[in-house]
Structure 1
Amino acid sequence: MKQRIARLSPRQNGKVFAVLMAFSSLVFLVPFGLFCPFAAPSGQRGEAAMFLFMPFACLIVGYLSVAVGCAVYNFMFRYVGGIEFEVMVTDGH
Structure 2
Amino acid sequence: MNVLDHVYTVTFVLLGMAVLLTLYRLVRGPSVMDRILCLNATSVLLISFVAVEVAVRGDSAYIGLVITFALLGFVGSLTAARFAERRAHDRG
User: TM-score under structure 2 normalisation?
Assistant: 0.40
Greater relative contact order (Cα 8 A, min sep 6): structure 1 or 2? Answer: 1
Relative to total residues, which structure has the larger helix share, 1 or 2?
A: 2
Greater gyration radius: 1
Relative to total residues, which structure has the larger strand share, 1 or 2?
A: 1
